[in-house]
Amino acid sequence: MTTTVPSSHETATPSSSTLASTSSDDLTLCTFYVGEQLFGVEVSSVQEVIKNLNITEVPLADESVRGLINLRGQIVTAIDLKQRIEGTPSQNPENLVNLIVRTTDGLASLLVDRIGDVRVFNQSDSESVPPNLSSNLKSIAIETFRSGDELLVNLNTKNAVSLNRDPS
Amino acid sequence: MNNEELMIRNEFVSESLEHLTTVESLLVAYESDSNSLDSKAINRVFRSVHSIKGAAGFLAFRNIESLSHRAEEVLNALREGTLAPSSGMIDGLLNSIDRLKEMIEDLDKSESVDISGELALLERVLANDPIASAGATETTSESTSQDSSLASNPIKIANKCSPEALREFIVEYQENLEQVEKDLVNLERDLDNAEILNSVFRSVHTIKGSAGFLAFHVTESIAHAAESVLGDVRSHKIAFNSDIATTLFSTIDFMRVLLRSIEQFAEEKVPLDQGLLNRLRAFEYANQQDNRPTPIAPINPSQPKTEPLNSAVTVAKPAGEIIPKPSHPSEVPAPTISESTIRVDVALLDRIMTQVGELVLARNQILQYSNNSVSTSLQKATQRLNQITSELQESVMKTRMQPIGNVWSKFPRLVRDLASNFGKEVRIEMEGKDTELDKTIIEAIKDPLTHLVRNSIDHGIEHPDERSRNGKSREGVLYLRAFHESGQVVIEIIDDGKGLRIDRIRDKAIEKGLLTAESASKMSEQEISQLIFLPGFSTAERVSNVSGRGVGMDVVKTNIERIGGSIELTTAAGNGTTFRIKIPLTLAIVPALIVTHLGNRYAIPQANLLELVHFSREDSNFRLEWIQNSAVFRLRGKLLPIVFLSEIFKRSVDRNQTNVNIVVVAADGKEFGLVVDTINDSEEIVVKPLGQNIHTIEAYSGATIMGDGNVALILDIQGVCKMSGVAAVAKTLTQESTTRLTTADQQETYLVLESTTQQRRAVALHQVARLEKVQRSRLEASNERPVMQYRGEIIPLIFLDQIEDRELKLDEEHLANLVVSEVDGKPFGVIVHSIVDTQKANCVPFASPQGYVVGNTVINGRVTDVLDLTLMLQGEAL
């Protein structure tokens, strides 16, 4: 993987927390809310956004797995992102939005509260993930960006959908 | 061997392999670009081979040393310019390198590897012999005339042929080889069968013709030699014997090697096996020396020999067709095949299959909407859609179907080779070769079947002497049978060998700690024989190279169960063993029972399903009994372990459910009852893979999409069985039931019924075809007599309580217990209040005014009247 860190990089971020998959400095993110927090994932990894899909519960699955959805004949695992990040289930399961993302292991759905805009960020504005975030969030966060008066956390979709259950 | 030696050896291996890889890549590079083999490259190759030679000599690996020495000589000649690089030379070198690799990878065996072929080949390269470099022509003076005839033959058109023609040739080649192989096995049994002989001859001839046409000279030469031998046999100049057969089998093997080479490289990279050719010629020679000292006529060598055949062999028509063929090259690739069939990529078929699966789901959804709709035109259109979809699904499934004969076709040869290997005489018989199975299933059963066949010959069928001592024919029979049975395919592998030694299996199981001596003594022979499917179980006293390594039967069983099949065996000491495999027709679409539990639907594959039991809490005859935290249910006198799906899902279990629905299932040969909330319906479901993070959960084998578009999980009954810990319980239960059954051997088994007034009655179980729960609403009337629709028929009903002037009571679910019986093949039903149990008992017969009460007996401490259902129906009809 090539990591292009622009020379104009001002913040003294160690390159380990920055990642750029495009050769340009621009990063296009699909933004969304879980609770009141703004998140983003790279727009190229998003296949589509769907509301109102019936979810079939899967007993015995990881608690972050809300269930299975039928995406035009393909069966896709839906992950409650709030549960994944905060360890508590979403308050309004009825109104969650399926953010269908492509990962190397196939499709997965991230259940989020609300979809935001598609925004373009400059790599040079990337800031490292604050160390005081919950360990769950840190394990899937790549970096943060300032978006208006909000802080956006850019998520790694592959990590977000892979639930490597802790031995504890 | 001490450490230092080991180190040196290891170093030699890794170093030599590295050298060989370099050499190989340089040689292969030459093939694509002849300029790449410059003096620098040759030097590198030379040095690499030289170091291998040196090291091998030092470590005293003589075989490796001599082969690398010879290769070095060739390379030296190349380096010094006395030999020019040619493709024949490169082939020879590559061959040697492959062999060297093989030897170096397994040093201990390297001394026993036969390298004479490679050595000879390199020798020929060194001698600058055109055979090696051309790789196809022959040297003997006798064959020169043939070669010239072939060369001047008009069918030799071009070296390059179109890819289509090549593919067709390969397929045809393959098919013909298989045909020849099959025929030869048969011919060995039936030496005088002119028809089989003709078929062999035709196939070989076709191969020769097509190979000649496409300029595959090695194939052509060897096929020609084989054809000549066969021609002589046909014209009764020589007698067919097992030597000829063996040589012809070797010829087929050699042709397979050629075929593989043609498949891979579109050319024959294998030099002509001169030894084989000479062996073939030897048969022919014998004939020529006896009858016809003149050399073979140069035009078409097969012609003079086939000529007298018309009179000698009854089935002469094919021979007449064959002879002129080579002069009409356009006819050689059979045109009829290409016209009536096309070859389709399997991936495309898979895609079509998936799409049809989707269509089926969409159809189901539309069906649901249209059923709720009032528009008749919509309903009509949906009906049509429904029908077309079903037909399409069936047709698409058919495209993936292959006859099981495709797998079996390899067995006659296998059986022949194995039998001669073990010094046994075995005949193979097959029935139902055309039984079709999905391609994926065919592939999945290939290995298990091969294993079972090997096993039968190795362990099952005895040596001829032993057989004749036991009054059997010297020749053992292996019988393969395939047929359809209730939506599944049954494959039986039957041998008439010595059967399983039950006592030895029992001892072995006890010795291995799989059983205690006490529990073993309670098991029936049938149960003990199934123990051979346990992992690590093998009674073979010696390990043969064929079977008996203890990794056999359990793998066979797992592989078959993986595709939703099952295997069981029956054996009779001295009379043989039968393996019976049941497998589904297809994996993509399976019938399943849909149940609802905790608000979600789940599918249970029909393959696991035995029966359904429903009862309510008020029903005093049925209840779940608890042994601490485990529930059991007495089903027809047998204790059935009960598993709550809630328990599997780690949810709380309601012990006091008012209605209990039990799905009786079997997995791994264990039966248990799965308690679910509601039992819905049977459906054909399309199996889909599970998404991420879920496929690791043992309880599910996949998912499907229901008619309403929602996802339902498919329960993996084997997984559920494991999770529930039923495995251990089930064993003790079967033992209990078998002991009870054996004590009551001589008695008849009765189905015990109870009336609303708790009066007990019994019906001989052989009169009972089925037991079912039916909805009250299904009970109808015709001509003032009660009837119901049952499996597409209207069957008469008898209300047992009513004919005894008692009030008929149905439970609050409006379900009635139906006992289906048959008289003269026609079913009729008896509605009874409740079914209690099945029990063995001795009936004391007496005559009664009602006629249908034929006796009484004591069952479970209660006097029970024995009824004859047939007499009862006759009494009703009067």
Chain B residues within 8 A of A56 when measuring between CB atoms = 600-601, 703, 710-713
Question: B694 and A107: CB-CB below 8 Å?
Answer: no
pLDDT value of residue B808? 56
Question: A162 and B598: CB-CB below 8 Å?
Answer: no
Question: A161 and B697: CB-CB below 8 Å?
Answer: no
Tell me whether strands B826-832 and B834-841 are parallel, antiparallel or unpaired. Answer: unpaired
Question: A70 and B358: CB-CB below 8 Å?
Answer: no
DSSP-derived 3-state class of residue B625: strand
Measured CA distances, B792 to B611, B789, B795, B827 (Å): 20, 6, 9, 11
Residue B631, pLDDT > 80, answer yes
Residue B321, pLDDT > 80, answer no
What mean pLDDT value characterizes chain B? 76
Question: B703 and A162: CB-CB below 8 Å?
Answer: no
| pLDDT range class, residue A20, cuts 50, 70, 90 | very low
Q: Which of A75, A80, A101 to mutate to test the interface with B (most CBs of B within 10 A)?
A: A75
Rounded to a whole number, what is the distance in Å from the CA of B694 to chain A's nearest CA? Answer: 6
| pLDDT range class, residue B246, cuts 50, 70, 90 | confident
d(CA B549, CA B541): 10
d(CA B412, CA B252): 14
pLDDT value of residue B7? 74
Residue A164, pLDDT > 50, answer yes
Closest to B298 in 3D by CA, of B405, B143, B493, B194: B143
pLDDT value of residue A156? 92
**Interfacial residues of B (vs A; Cβ cutoff 8 Å):** 357-358, 361, 598-601, 648-651, 688-694, 697, 699-700, 703, 705, 709-713
Whether A151 and chain B come into contact, CB under 8 Å, resolves to: no
Question: B711 and A57: CB-CB below 8 Å?
Answer: no
Nearest Cβ partner for B711 among A56, A61, A103: A56
Nearest Cβ partner for B692 among A59, A70, A108: A108
Taking residues B281-303, report their average pLDDT: 51
Lowest mean pLDDT across A14-18, B243-247, B637-641: A14-18
Please enumerate in sequence order all residues whose Cβ is within 8 A of that of B786, keeping only pairs 6 or more positions apart, or say none. B779, B780, B796, B797, B798, B799, B831
Interface of A with B in 85-104 (CB under 8 A): 103
Residue B582, pLDDT > 80, answer yes
Phi, psi of B470 (to 5 degrees): -90, 15
Q: What are B231's two structure tokens? A: 């021609």
Chain A residues within 8 A of B599 when measuring between CB atoms = 57
Lowest mean pLDDT across B147-161, B521-535, B770-784, B797-811: B147-161
Residue B6, pLDDT > 80, answer no
Q: Which of A109-118, B272-281, B524-533, B766-775 has the highest mean pLDDT?
A: A109-118
Rounded to a whole number, what is the distance in Å from the CA of A161 to chain B's nearest CA? Answer: 8
Residue B878, pLDDT > 70, answer no
Whether A54 and chain B come into contact, CB under 8 Å, resolves to: yes
pLDDT value of residue B303? 39
Chain A residues within 8 A of B697 when measuring between CB atoms = 58, 60-61
Taking residues B257-285, report their average pLDDT: 80
pLDDT value of residue B129? 56
Q: Write the burial class of residue B154 (CB in 10 Å: 0-12 exposed, 13-18 middle, 19+ buried).
A: exposed
Question: A68 and B691: CB-CB below 8 Å?
Answer: yes
pLDDT value of residue B811? 52
Residue B288, pLDDT > 70, answer no
Residue B266, pLDDT > 50, answer yes
Residue B314, pLDDT > 80, answer no
Question: B692 and A162: CB-CB below 8 Å?
Answer: yes
Rounded to a whole number, what is the distance in Å from the CA of A120 to chain B's nearest CA? Answer: 30
Is A83 within 8 Å of A96 (Cβ atoms)? Answer: no
User: Which of the pair, A5 or B120, is modelled with greater confidence?
Assistant: B120
| pLDDT range class, residue B800, cuts 50, 70, 90 | confident
pLDDT value of residue B28? 72
User: Which of the pair, B310 or A133, is modelled with greater confidence?
Assistant: A133
| pLDDT range class, residue B492, cuts 50, 70, 90 | very high
Whether A40 and chain B come into contact, CB under 8 Å, resolves to: no
Nearest Cβ partner for A77 among B693, B699, B709: B693
Give the per-residue SS3 of B223-274. Answer: HHHHHHHHHHHHCCCCCCCHHHHHHHHHHHHHHHHHHHHHHHHCCCCCCCCH
Is B89 within 8 Å of B27 (Cβ atoms)? Answer: no
Question: A59 and B693: CB-CB below 8 Å?
Answer: no
The ipTM (two decimal places) reads: 0.81
Whether A77 and chain B come into contact, CB under 8 Å, resolves to: yes
| Among chain A residues, CA nearest to B692 | A77
Lowest mean pLDDT across B42-56, B494-508, B670-684, B809-823: B809-823
Residue B29, pLDDT > 80, answer no
User: Which of the pair, B840 or B424, is modelled with greater confidence?
Assistant: B424
Lowest mean pLDDT across B135-149, B367-381, B708-722: B135-149
Taking residues B162-186, report their average pLDDT: 81
| Among chain B residues, CA nearest to A105 | B692
Please enumerate in sequence order all residues whose Cβ is within 8 A of that of B594, keeping only pairs 6 or more positions apart, or say none. B601, B602, B603, B604, B680, B681, B682, B683, B706, B712
Rounded to a whole number, what is the distance in Å from the CA of A167 to chain B's nearest CA? Answer: 16
User: Which of the pair, B277 or B593, is modelled with greater confidence?
Assistant: B593
Residue B818, pLDDT > 70, answer yes
pLDDT value of residue B602? 95
Nearest Cβ partner for A60 among B358, B699, B710: B699
| pLDDT range class, residue B305, cuts 50, 70, 90 | very low
Question: A59 and B649: CB-CB below 8 Å?
Answer: yes
Of chain B, the percentage scoring pLDDT greater than 70 comes to 80
Question: A58 and B694: CB-CB below 8 Å?
Answer: yes
Is A164 within 8 Å of A88 (Cβ atoms)? Answer: no
Chain B residues within 8 A of A69 when measuring between CB atoms = 711
| A42-76 confidence digits (pLDDT tens) | 999 999 999 888 899 999 998 899 999 988 778 89
Rounded to a whole number, what is the distance in Å from the CA of B360 to chain A's nearest CA? Answer: 11
Residue B181, pLDDT > 80, answer yes
| pLDDT range class, residue B37, cuts 50, 70, 90 | low
Residue B255, pLDDT > 80, answer yes
Rounded to a whole number, what is the distance in Å from the CA of A133 to chain B's nearest CA? Answer: 25
User: Which of the pair, A16 or B16, is modelled with greater confidence?
Assistant: B16
